[in-house]
Structure 1
């Protein structure tokens, strides 16, 4: 990520001299005050490492096909809930139903966009798979979520799972689009939308009494079992080490002057905040395995 590269360069500025410390503090302060508008100026004055090689073990079309599968999954999930004959009772309130309807519209738009991108690339558009959101593979195995469309709280748990997986999957595919700024920008916008969906679903769950934050946090009440296939959706999310593609470890707990509270946080508390701050990527194989939980 470019953000991590920026932090790595800031960390490289010498902390041993007044001349080295001041630019780093100034750059971080300016970034905190003005946000993205100052990023180009800040990056321009920092030392630049040699260009890193771009991994090429996935094609752009592979990325688009994976994204379309995940968007098919989410779009169909919300569509089936909205089509329930007892939808009014299932959602419990007009506000709940309207929120899900809004998310469903977004997912449908994502499907149409990805289909169009594949068509314009001259590629075959994969057909929408058959989905069983109980996880029973159309009754051929024990259901993972047997009350998915009769218990709104179960529905929201699975919605959170799907949205969190989508976020991590998009993040895992970004590296394969670095040479195509148009597609990179498109998928980053989809990633941002999925992030808002996840935050809203999590907020809805919290309003119904679930112990969960609006972002992935180690203190969230577990909705998967560690080591299971669904558990892969959250494996590694408690990671406190962040690396640049080089790879280079970003020293959040030492060099970077980000622990400026009074009193200052302990190293452990600071790294716990770092774990909250980053959505960790998952690769295509893991994303596909998670999607296959609901495909038959």
Structure 2
């Protein structure tokens, strides 16, 4: 969950959101230090209490605010369910990898609980594990795309990478709103950085573990996205995690080398390669594309 994009989205549909708190600057001073003062597990509870005070004594969340939070909640449910089912399966993970997946699962659960508290009665119905089918068979209604997802460590981590990379791009789509709110950026950046490390760590786990094609950039990725990665580790179904959204001028592919109208290759000849230029920037993805990708795993 990219928290500062979420806060920025809320401000866009509810300009009075900060007036609901104790004061705009005091709120951000609190958020800016929460990462230093609290453990990762405690941060969601602190934020939940903050939002509850903001909205709890009023008439409830505005509909548009609830929609923003519920979209984030669906993504958190998907990731929480994915990691939970993996940990209860016979998936042969190393002790180190199992510990890492447990931490990821706990983070996602904290996010779910935080969002449900914030939303109150406006929250969507809880999504049980049975709401998802990570084999891609839609509950047995079609041939599974990933039948061994919870028995093959390579496949599991490949799918985990796609989910984490998708989350980063999904929330990146709100950045234009964020850019005009410097306080949000400065105060919540420390919290966001922890979330961003999820994707990087999963990629590191893949690089050091089982690989379908040893030595291949797709099987042993860098800790960050480079180019469009030929559609990532599972291009047949999830290639659009890395490709362009709609419209393409606003949601370019991850291999984009033009930023703010500047062609990085021609601007820095002999220095910038296509790979380096693409690695320097993450690209956003539109909500429709994100919803479609998540929908592959709903029953």
Asked whether the two chains share a fold, i.e. TM above 0.5, the reply is: yes
| 8 Å contact from structure 1 (residues 81, 149) kept in 2 | yes
Instruction: After TM superposition, give the deviation of residue 253 of structure 1 in Å.
Output: 4.5
Please say which of residues 66-75 and 192-201 is displaced more in the overlay. Answer: 192-201
Cα deviations by residue, 1:94-116 (Å, 9 ceiling, x for unpaired): 11110111111111111112222
| 8 Å contact from structure 1 (residues 148, 155) kept in 2 | yes
Instruction: After TM superposition, give the deviation of residue 214 of structure 1 in Å.
Output: 0.5
Please say which of residues 178-187 and 104-113 is displaced more in the overlay. Answer: 178-187
Match of residue 109 from structure 2: 108
Whole-angstrom CA distance in 2 between matches of 1:187 and 1:68: 19
Structure 2: gaps of 5 or more residues: 1-62, 212-218, 244-252
Whole-angstrom CA distance in 1 between matches of 2:228 and 2:239: 15
Cα deviations by residue, 1:119-160 (Å, 9 ceiling, x for unpaired): 2xx633443160000011001011111100110110000000
Instruction: After TM superposition, give the deviation of residue 182 of structure 1 in Å.
Output: 8.2
| 8 Å contact from structure 1 (residues 203, 213) kept in 2 | yes
C-alpha change, 1:288 and 1:188, in structure 2 (3 Å) is: farther
Whole-angstrom CA distance in 1 between matches of 2:161 and 2:174: 20
| 8 Å contact from structure 1 (residues 75, 104) kept in 2 | yes
Please say which of residues 134-143 and 62-71 is displaced more in the overlay. Answer: 62-71
Q: How many residues end up aligned between the 2 structures?
A: 217
Matched, 1:232 2:233: no
| 8 Å contact from structure 2 (residues 257, 265) kept in 1 | no
Match of residue 280 from structure 2: 277
Instruction: After TM superposition, give the deviation of residue 65 of structure 1 in Å.
Output: 1.5
Structure 1: gaps of 5 or more residues: 1-57, 244-248, 260-264
| 8 Å contact from structure 1 (residues 239, 275) kept in 2 | yes
Instruction: After TM superposition, give the deviation of residue 266 of structure 1 in Å.
Output: 1.9
Whole-angstrom CA distance in 2 between matches of 1:144 and 1:187: 38
C-alpha change, 1:219 and 1:70, in structure 2 (3 Å) is: closer
Instruction: After TM superposition, give the deviation of residue 279 of structure 1 in Å.
Output: 1.3
Match of 2:270 among 261, 266, 271: 266
Match of residue 81 from structure 2: 76
1:1-296 matches, cutoff 5 A: 59-84=64-89, 86=90, 90-91=92-93, 93-119=94-120, 123-128=122-127, 130-176=131-177, 191-208=192-209, 209=211, 210-218=219-227, 220=229, 222-225=232-235, 229-235=237-243, 236-243=253-260, 249-250=261-262, 252-253=264-265, 266=270, 269=273, 271-296=274-299
Which one has a bigger Cα radius of gyration? 1
| 8 Å contact from structure 2 (residues 228, 255) kept in 1 | no
Instruction: After TM superposition, give the deviation of residue 195 of structure 1 in Å.
Output: 2.0
| 8 Å contact from structure 1 (residues 60, 176) kept in 2 | no
| 8 Å contact from structure 1 (residues 135, 293) kept in 2 | yes
Instruction: After TM superposition, give the deviation of residue 191 of structure 1 in Å.
Output: 4.6
| 8 Å contact from structure 1 (residues 59, 176) kept in 2 | no
Instruction: After TM superposition, give the deviation of residue 277 of structure 1 in Å.
Output: 1.4
